[in-house]
Amino acid sequence: MEDLTLQVQPVILKFTQVFEIEEFVSSNGGATRVKVYDSIDLQLRDLYKCLHPQIPFSIKAYEPWLASKLTGKDILLYGNWIWYSYENELVHLLPEEEFITVRTSRNKYKITGEEQALLQEKIIGIVGLSVGQTIAIAIAMERGAGEIRLADFDTVDLSNLNRLRCSIADLALNKAEICAREIWRIDPYLKIRVFKDGLQENNIEAFFTEGGKLDLLIEECDALDIKVLARYKAKELGIPVLMETNDRCLIDIERFDLEPNRPLLHGLMGDLNPGLLKGLSQEEKISYLMPMVGLQALSERMKASMIEVQSSINSWPQLASAVTMGAGVAAELSRKILLNESTVSGRFYVDLDLLIPEPPKSFQITETESRPQLLDPAILKAFIKGFRVDPKVEVLSDEEKEGLLSACLHAPSGGNCQPWKFYFHRGHLFIFHEAHHSVSMLDYGNFGTYLSIGAVIENARIFAYSKGLILHYNYFPAAGYTTLVADLHFEKSSELLSYPLSLSELFNRHTNRLFSERKELALSDENNLLDLIGSNRIAQLTLIKNTDQMKELAEILTEAEKLLLLNARGHQDIFEREIRWTKEEAESKKDGIDLATLNMSKAEAIALKVAGSRHVMEWVSKIDGGEAFKRNTKKAIAASSAVGILTMPFQTAEAYLHGGEVMEKLWIKSNSLGLAFQPVTQFSYLLARANNNGESLNSTEKERLKLLHRQLQAIVPQTKSREIVFIFRIGYTEKEAVKSLRREISKMKIYD
Ligand SMILES: Cc1cc2nc3c(=O)[nH]c(=O)nc-3n(C[C@H](O)[C@H](O)[C@H](O)COP(=O)(O)O)c2cc1C
C-alpha cells in the first residue's frame, strides 16, 4: 500500500503571527537545533523579474511592488514555511502558485504555460528507483507531472551510489522514499505518493488507479514478474509505458493508449503472462528475459560484463553518465507523450557511439592457416592406381565394405570435424587426411587428426574381428605423402577370433558431456580399462581419482579452455567453424559441435553466445576475466569419477595414430561399462603448440601454458618424461547425451 507515514514528507506551515514562528522553533528544540532558512526576499525578487521581463530590475520599482504585495504584513509571514522534520530545517518559501511560476519560468517556451498547466494535471507512475530516481527527479524538476507515484521495495546499498543520488547517511533507507525526499527538497508542493512495498499484486490497483488513473507508466525494475505484471495492467487500462535501459540508452515505448492490441514489449515477451510466470524456473525466466533486453544489441562492454557476473562482479554495471543521459531522454519522451506530441511505439537506441562515431580502430586481424581445398578424388584415384598394393589380400563384399565404412565413420574427431576421406581399391581401404576440415588452432601438427584416424583404424579392427577377418595396416604407406595416412587390408582367419570389443559396443561409443553426482570409480571398471592397454608398453594410461588432485587438474584444464576462447584464432575456430547453434544447422551440416550436446544451462548458453563477439572477448581479456568459461568443465570434472591421461614416449604422427587406437578402445569400453566419457583436450594440444613453433600464441599465453604444464607434472609425474596425447574425464550418469551426426557416406568416400 501507499505509505502514509513517511518521515521525509515535508509539512507546509502557514503562520499568521511572527511569534508563532518563534514558538514553532522553540517547540522543536530551539534555535540551536532548528536551522532556519529565509531567502524570501530573493524569491520575491525572482518572482518580480518573472512577472516583469520587459523591464530591467531596479530596487526603485521593486520596493513599491513588494509593499503592495505585503499589504503591511511582516515579510516573515509571506507565503509558507516548509518544515523538513528529519533535517530540522525550516525553509521560508513562496506560496505554491508563485513558487511554480518562478520555478518553471525558465522552461518557457520549450514548455508553454498552457503545456505546463496540462502537465500539472498528469499522473506518472515510476516503478524501480535505482534508475527511476534520476528520471523522477528530471521530471519533477521540469514539473512534468502534477503527481508522481513511486514504487520500490528495495533499500539503498553503498554499491547503488555510483548512480543513485543520496547521502551516505541514507544507506539502508527505502529507494522510493529517498527519491520522494530528493524531489521534495526541490519542490515540497509536488504531489508524490510512495509505495515502499514496491509494485505488487495487492497494491497494483491502487498504484494505477487510486486518486486518478496513471497517464504514463515508467517501468525501470529488474524483476521479470513485475515487468510483466505492470505491462498487463497498463495494457488493460490503456496506459502508455516507457522504459529506459541505460546500456546504449535503449528506449522502449508502448502506446497502449493508442494501440490497445499492441503485444507486450513489441512481442518480445512472447507468451508470458502473470499466470505463466508463477510456474517458471529461474532458467526459464532467463530465456524470456534475453530477447527482452536485446542481448545481441548490448554494447560490447556490457556483454563482457555479463560474462563476468558472478565471477568477478556481482551484477551488471550501470553508470551515472548513462543513467543521467537516459533520464533526460526519458523525461523528454514522457513530456512528449503526455502532451500528445509523440505517438510512436517501438524500440530505439540513443547510442552516443553511433551518434558521435569514432574513426574505426585498426583491429587485430585474426591469423588463420589457409584452409586447403577439398581433396580432388581424380588426383587421389590416379595416385592410388599407380601405387603398388599387395594383391593377395581379402577383397571385401559390397555389404562388408559398407559395414566397414560405417564403423570407420563412427569414430570421434576433434570438433566433430571428420577429417578423412576413404577409398577402396583392390581389397585395400585407403584413408586420406581431408585437411580442409581439420584446420584448427588445436590441431597442431595434425595431432588431433591422427588421433581420430587412429580411432578409425581401431573401429576397422573391431569390424574385421566381428567378420572373422584380421586387420593389417600401414601408417603413411606412401613415403613423403602424408595426405595418405593409412592403408588397411584384411586377411581371412581360419581360426575363431575373439576381441575384447564388439561392433555393438563400437556403435554405442559417444561423447557424453552430462554428469550426475560423483561416484567413485569401481575397481572392476578401473581394472577393465587398465587391462585393455595393460600389455601395451607404448601407450600408458594414468587415472587420477583423488578429488583434490582432480580439482587441481580441473583448474589447469579449464584455464587452457579459457585461454583458447580468449585467443583470437581459437575464438574464431570455436565460433565460426565449430559450434552449430541450432538443430537445423546441426542437421544440415552434419558436422561440428551441436550446441545441444554441450550440456549447457540457458544462462551458460547465453554467455557463450555473448562470447561469440571477438570485440567482447577483447574486453574480457583486457579485464583479465573469463572465469565463467571455466565453470562448466570444472563442475563436470568435480562430478567425474576420474580424469584419464594417455601418454606416449614421443610426439610423432605415428605416436598419435597409435594413441588414437588406444583412445578409441578406452572410450568404447568406458561407454559399455556405463561411464560417460568426455575428452578435455585443449590443454594438451595448446601445450604441443606452445612447446613447438608457438604460432598464434603470444608470449604470455605460451608462458601460461608452460606454467600449467609444470603444475600438471607435479600432479602426474609420468608427464615429465612422456608426451600427453589425450586427456578425458569419466563418470557415472544415467543421463543420455544428444548424439552427434556424421556427414553422408557419399561425401566421405571416393567412388571408382
Ligand atoms: C582428438 C579429439 C579431441 C577432442 N576434444 C574434445 C574436448 O576437448 N572437449 C569435448 O567436449 N569433446 C572433445 N572431443 C569429442 C568430439 O567433439 C566428439 O568426438 C565429436 O563431436 C563426435 O561426437 P561423438 O564422440 O559423440 O561421436 C574430442 C574428440 C577427439 C577425437
Q: What is the pLDDT of residues 226-282, one digit of tens each?
A: 999 999 999 999 999 999 998 999 999 999 999 999 999 999 998 888 888 888 888
pLDDT computed for residue 494 by the predictor: 86
Q: Is residue 633 over pLDDT 60?
A: yes
> Are both 541 and 496 inside the same structural domain?
no
Compute the distance from residue 480 Cα to the ligand 1 centre, in Å. Answer: 29
With cut-offs at 50, 70 and 90, classify the pLDDT of residue 634: very high
The closest residue, in CA terms, to atom 4 on ligand 1 is 414
- Report the C-alpha gap between 197 and 4 in whole angstroms: 12
Compute the distance from residue 415 Cα to the ligand 1 centre, in Å. Answer: 6
Q: Within a domain: residue 475?
A: yes
> Are both 143 and 65 inside the same structural domain?
no
Which has the higher per-residue pLDDT, 703 or 272? 703
With cut-offs at 50, 70 and 90, classify the pLDDT of residue 203: very high
What's the structural domain count of the chain?
4
Mutate to test the pocket of ligand 1, among 451, 511, 668 (most ligand atoms within 8 A of CB): 511
Q: Within a domain: residue 329?
A: yes
Q: Within a domain: residue 362?
A: no
> Are both 87 and 148 inside the same structural domain?
no
The closest residue, in CA terms, to atom 12 on ligand 1 is 679
Q: What is the pLDDT of residues 650-692, one digit of tens each?
A: 999 999 999 999 999 999 999 999 999 999 999 999 999 999 9
The closest residue, in CA terms, to atom 3 on ligand 1 is 414
Cβ atoms of 349 and 250 within 8 Å: the answer is yes
pLDDT computed for residue 368 by the predictor: 59
> Are both 113 and 94 inside the same structural domain?
no
Compute the distance from residue 50 Cα to the ligand 1 centre, in Å. Answer: 78
> Are both 702 and 565 inside the same structural domain?
yes
Q: Is residue 524 over pLDDT 90?
A: yes
Cβ atoms of 266 and 346 within 8 Å: the answer is yes
Identify the residues whose C-beta falls under 6 Å from ligand 1.
412-416, 448, 451-452, 510-511, 513, 593, 678-682, 739-740
The closest residue, in CA terms, to atom 31 on ligand 1 is 413
Residue 440 lies in domain: 392-505+745-750
**Atom number in ligand 1 closest to CA 510:** 26
Mutate to test the pocket of ligand 1, among 408, 410, 416 (most ligand atoms within 8 A of CB): 416
- Report the C-alpha gap between 81 and 87 in whole angstroms: 14
Q: Within a domain: residue 379?
A: no
Q: Which residues contact 223 (CB under 8 A, 6 or more apart)?
A: none
- CATH number for the domain spanning 687: value is 3.40.109.10
Q: What is the pLDDT of residues 531-573, one digit of tens each?
A: 998 766 799 999 999 999 999 999 999 999 999 999 999 999 9
Across residues 710-715, what is the average pLDDT? 97
- Report the C-alpha gap between 480 and 269 in whole angstroms: 61
- Give CA 475 to chain center in angstroms: 45
Q: What is the pLDDT of residues 111-169, one digit of tens each?
A: 999 999 999 999 999 999 999 999 999 999 999 999 999 999 999 999 999 999 999 99
**Atom number in ligand 1 closest to CA 681:** 8
| Cβ neighbour number for residue 90 with a 10 Å cutoff | 21
Query: What residue type is assigned to position 461 of the chain?
Result: R
pLDDT computed for residue 594 by the predictor: 95
- Report the C-alpha gap between 222 and 289 in whole angstroms: 10
**Atom number in ligand 1 closest to CA 737:** 26
Compute the distance from residue 490 Cα to the ligand 1 centre, in Å. Answer: 28
> Are both 83 and 231 inside the same structural domain?
no
Compute the distance from residue 375 Cα to the ligand 1 centre, in Å. Answer: 24
Q: Within a domain: residue 65?
A: yes
CA-closest candidate to residue 151, choices 96, 210, 104:
210
Q: Is residue 513 over pLDDT 70?
A: yes
Mutate to test the pocket of ligand 1, among 675, 681, 687, 729 (most ligand atoms within 8 A of CB): 681
Domain final residue pick, 70, 105, 140: 105
**Atom number in ligand 1 closest to CA 455:** 31
Strand partners, 90: 36, 83
**What share of the chain in percent tops pLDDT 70?**
98
Mean pLDDT score of the chain: 94
Domain final residue pick, 105, 123, 139: 105
**What share of the chain in percent tops pLDDT 90?**
87
Mutate to test the pocket of ligand 1, among 413, 420, 683 (most ligand atoms within 8 A of CB): 413
Q: Which residues contact 495 (CB under 8 A, 6 or more apart)?
A: none
Domain final residue pick, 63, 86, 105: 105
Compute the distance from residue 605 Cα to the ligand 1 centre, in Å. Answer: 19
CA-closest candidate to residue 83, choices 122, 40, 25, 155:
25
> Are both 534 and 438 inside the same structural domain?
no
The closest residue, in CA terms, to atom 17 on ligand 1 is 415
> Are both 454 and 564 inside the same structural domain?
no
Say which residue the cell 586481424 belongs to. 365
pLDDT computed for residue 4 by the predictor: 54
Q: What is the pLDDT of residues 290-341, one digit of tens each?
A: 889 888 899 999 999 988 988 899 999 999 999 999 999 999 999 999 999 9
Q: Within a domain: residue 646?
A: yes
Compute the distance from residue 414 Cα to the ligand 1 centre, in Å. Answer: 5
**Atom number in ligand 1 closest to CA 592:** 21
pLDDT computed for residue 2 by the predictor: 58
pLDDT computed for residue 10 by the predictor: 96
CA-closest candidate to residue 375, choices 367, 363, 388, 384:
384
Compute the distance from residue 680 Cα to the ligand 1 centre, in Å. Answer: 8
Compute the distance from residue 511 Cα to the ligand 1 centre, in Å. Answer: 6
> Are both 485 and 351 inside the same structural domain?
no
- Report the C-alpha gap between 391 and 397 in whole angstroms: 16
With cut-offs at 50, 70 and 90, classify the pLDDT of residue 175: very high
pTM of the predicted model, to two decimals?
A: 0.86
With cut-offs at 50, 70 and 90, classify the pLDDT of residue 108: very high
Cis peptide bond upstream of 109, omega within 30: yes
Compute the distance from residue 412 Cα to the ligand 1 centre, in Å. Answer: 6
Q: Is residue 387 over pLDDT 90?
A: no
Compute the distance from residue 546 Cα to the ligand 1 centre, in Å. Answer: 24
Q: Within a domain: residue 323?
A: yes
- Report the C-alpha gap between 633 and 672 in whole angstroms: 23
pLDDT computed for residue 724 by the predictor: 97
Q: What is the pLDDT of residues 331-380, one digit of tens each?
A: 999 999 999 999 999 999 999 999 999 887 655 555 556 789 999 999 99
- Report the C-alpha gap between 663 and 657 in whole angstroms: 10
- CATH number for the domain spanning 227: value is 3.40.50.720
**Atom number in ligand 1 closest to CA 451:** 1
> Are both 87 and 115 inside the same structural domain?
no
> Are both 36 and 113 inside the same structural domain?
no
Q: Within a domain: residue 601?
A: yes
> Are both 551 and 633 inside the same structural domain?
yes
**Atom number in ligand 1 closest to CA 682:** 8
Compute the distance from residue 417 Cα to the ligand 1 centre, in Å. Answer: 9
